[in-house]
Amino acid sequence: MRKSCSVLPELEALAQNETKTFEDLIFFHRRIHDTNFVSSVSKNVHHCSSNVNRKSHVFDITSPLNLMICLPPKCGTTNWQRAMSAVYLNHTQKNYNPKELLGHSMYKILPRVDLEKLRKATETRSSKFKENRFRIANVRNPFSRLYSAWGDKQRVTSSYLSYWRGVKPFQEALGNPPQGMNNSFTAFAQYVAANPGNSKMNFHWTSTFSQCHPCAIDYNIITHLENSGEESEVIMKMFGLGEDVKLGEKYAWSPAKADELKWQSVPRGTAKKSTATITWISSCSVTRQMKS
């Protein structure tokens, strides 16, 4: 975490430089993972904070699954929570009302790991949370995740229109938004690119790093929304659960494949800045992959 914070000025400078390419960003990412690399911009800056994750996205299901799992929004989170909540309620209650798995009340069922404890462990890079047999981080292609956040939360019927004031100047320069949407994806991506970090973002599209705290949790399994059908079957077998426990289908506005094609209308410079914004580089980011 300290190393990540120390290179933020260099990352921001990279995002603002119009002459840099995606290859430059990838090269910079590799240097961060090089333990011998020392930032030339700032050697002593160790203080930074992500903004406003007001609730933890890491769930403690030690009983009955010996599981700790991070479920960031827009990564198939609802389906994962509904499946895990059913297992949890079956274990903790003799009889539960299936209606508990409907609506927003479902998000209050699973116990969440205390956010302050995760932050403190992240700051000290202590990796305290490593006792559970299964430690899963559920992730998604960041380009796809941002597009899904726009498609869901920027509809005219959405309750997340508080960000319209910030997006509006970008939309006015582009003309009318698509039918049924409060703004176009291009305008939304430009808003994200113009506001580095998490401070102006909703938790549905803040960085996975700030939600999963990989410096605090030694994850040993990575699952991917793009392969959720295949991977979830393997995971459920590892848990010893029957075939009746399955993840639901993806939503119509949240396609899991080829979302990169939706970025064709977004200027390359905007896409590059958005990538730097929604991908928080960390020297202790998760690297272990699930192999079925």
Q: Band the pLDDT of 122: cuts 50, 70, 90.
A: confident
Q: Of the segments 25-29, 43-47, 236-240, 286-290, which one has the largest average pLDDT value?
A: 236-240
Q: What is the DSSP letter of 105?
A: G
The pLDDT, as a whole number, for residue 187 is 92
CB atoms within 10 A of CB 289: 9
Q: Which of 22-26, 52-56, 63-67, 156-160 has the lowest mean pLDDT?
A: 52-56
The pLDDT, as a whole number, for residue 227 is 83
| Sequence-ordered alpha helix ranges (H) in 125-227 | 142-153, 164-172, 185-193, 208-212
Q: Is the pLDDT of residue 283 over 80?
A: no
Give the separation between CA 165 and CA 83, rounded to whole angstroms: 36
Give the separation between CA 129 and CA 117, rounded to whole angstroms: 10
Q: Of the segments 68-72, 143-147, 155-159, which one has the largest average pLDDT value?
A: 68-72
pLDDT in tens, 181-218: 989 999 998 988 887 766 667 888 888 888 888 888 88
The pLDDT, as a whole number, for residue 286 is 35
Q: Is the pLDDT of residue 265 over 70?
A: yes
The pLDDT, as a whole number, for residue 172 is 92
Q: Region 116-127: what's the mean pLDDT?
A: 79
Maximum C-alpha span of the chain: 62
Q: Of the segments 15-19, 93-97, 140-144, which one has the largest average pLDDT value?
A: 140-144
Compute CA 225 distance to the chain's CA centroid, rounded to the nearest angstrom.
11
The pLDDT, as a whole number, for residue 47 is 43
Q: Region 47-75: what's the mean pLDDT?
A: 78
Q: Band the pLDDT of 99: cuts 50, 70, 90.
A: confident
Give the separation between CA 250 and CA 194, rounded to whole angstroms: 30
Q: Is the pLDDT of residue 75 over 80?
A: yes
pLDDT in tens, 4-33: 556 656 766 766 666 777 777 777 777 766
The pLDDT, as a whole number, for residue 128 is 66
pLDDT in tens, 45-55: 444 444 444 68
Q: How far is CA 25 from CA 28, 214, 277, in A?
A: 5, 21, 12
Helix, strand, coil % (nearest 5) of the chain?
45, 10, 45
If you write DSSP's letter for every residue of 121-151 in order, what string do you get? HHHHT---B--SSEEEEEE--HHHHHHHHHH
Residue ranges of domains in the chain: 2-278
Give the separation between CA 292 and CA 290, rounded to whole angstroms: 6
Q: Give this prediction's pTM.
A: 0.70
> Which of 289, 278, 275 has its CA nearest to residue 25?
275
Q: Is the pLDDT of residue 267 over 50?
A: yes
Q: Region 120-136: what's the mean pLDDT?
A: 79
Q: How far is CA 261 from CA 102, 207, 257, 282, in A?
A: 33, 21, 9, 27
Give the separation between CA 290 and CA 287, rounded to whole angstroms: 10
Q: Which of 36-45, 73-82, 164-173, 268-277 has the lowest mean pLDDT?
A: 36-45
Q: What's the 3-state SS for 78-92?
A: HHHHHHHHHHHHHHH
Q: How far is CA 89 from CA 43, 99, 101, 161, 219, in A?
A: 49, 12, 10, 34, 25
The pLDDT, as a whole number, for residue 70 is 94
Q: Region 75-81: what's the mean pLDDT?
A: 88
Burial 162-182 (b: 16+ CB within 10 A, else e): ebeeebeebbeeeeebeeebb
> Which of 281, 246, 241 has its CA nearest to residue 66?
241
- Residues 281, 30 contacting (CB under 8 angstroms): no
Phi-psi region of 197 (alpha: psi -120 to 50; beta: other; left: phi over 0): left
Q: Which of 133-142, 196-205, 221-230, 255-264 has the lowest mean pLDDT?
A: 255-264
